Structure 1
């Protein structure tokens, strides 16, 4: 799945682990926000790629990479933890 804008999630479970799905953040200056997905457990990525340019900011909520998962940085993108 390719995300070129901001990420906003809430409520239900976001399944980014089954089938080792890759979530690719390729926009400029993106913000990731989670408001209680998966009963407050947040979003778990199997494979997550932050690429392109600008800062990708985890602004609120819970985000993690699964055991045996993969987080990749590419291009000139930077990752910031924001308020979490």
Structure 2
């Protein structure tokens, strides 16, 4: 399963960025907790964020609110498989 960010479905706030991602069958809200990252930085890291979110969703690693949360350490240490 590979999640891909939907166009125009990115919302930036002061503390986090919300992304709506989709694979063939599933839509998933992903929360990127990165208060010191600019929207352009999040945008440039979308492939890595999508990879991390896909892995977490496959493991069932969802937060209490049903979203996949991605933190800066996960983005920094992500390695493609």
If the TM-score is normalised by the length of the shorter chain, which range does it land in? under 0.3
Q: State the TM-score, normalizing by the size of structure 1.
A: 0.21
Q: State the TM-score, normalizing by the size of structure 2.
A: 0.22
Where is the strand percentage greater, Structure 1 or Structure 2? Answer: 1
